[in-house]
Amino acid sequence: MSTPPLILDIDGTLTRPDGWGIDPRVFDPLREWNAPVVLATGKAFPYPIALCHFIGVPELVVAENGGIVYTGDDVHVTADADASRTVATEYRAAGYDLGWGEGDTVNRWRETEVAVSRDQPLEPLRELAAAAGLEVIDTGYAYHVKDTDQNKGEGVRLIADHVGFDLADCVAIGDSINDVSTFETVGRSFAVSNADDAARAAADEVLAEAHADGTLSVLDRVR
């Protein structure tokens, strides 16, 4: 059996046991992987691009929950952040905060959505987003105000078409509701044990191990 293309979430999936920071044990297996590796994340575009550089793999990236897709030579922007930024302005005007401090590096380079810290009130954010025709998803790391149509699965499909691999051959690993569309797109999917209910329900298999431990167990199995 040939080595399958990988579709990997980052936060909660490539992270250390406490859930924060990339577990360095994933670097060598991914650098040596003999098939495409796609990083599909809710993070702003520069973060997964940088991670590709640090790992040493070609840049194949779905960022901002599908809002930005990089196929290795072209950047595809699939959503517009104007509406979500308006929601963020209204949220602040109502007396709330995005929760990231003055520098707000979480949103500084974000082009198609807005992320709000999970220690901020969710219901008023959801109400404002719904009034604007948007949605809020809770990835376990942030609340993302986004277009209802943008998702990771469509981004993965775009990369597969461009690079030339079969989605049915792909293995995906993730932990969150934003990975459901990816799980529905690929041939085989795994949820790490720390995954939320939506990811667990959508995955073909829920792993016994959490975070990078779970991911590494899959890499050993499917290599």
Residues involved in catalysis: 9
Question: How crowded is residue 100: how many other Cβ atoms within 10 Å of its Cβ?
Answer: 16
Alpha helices in the chain (DSSP H): 27-31, 46-55, 82-93, 123-131, 152-163, 180-185, 197-202, 211-222
Please state, in angstroms and rounded to a whole number, the distance separating the CA atoms of residues 95 and 169.
48
**Rounded Cα–Cα distance for residues 115 and 113 (Å):** 7
Q: How far apart are CA 96 and CA 94, in angstroms?
A: 6
Residue burial 110-123, b: 16+ Cβ < 10 Å; e: rest: bbbbbbbeeebeee
From 85, 82, 127, 125, select the one nearest 104 (Cα to Cα). Answer: 85
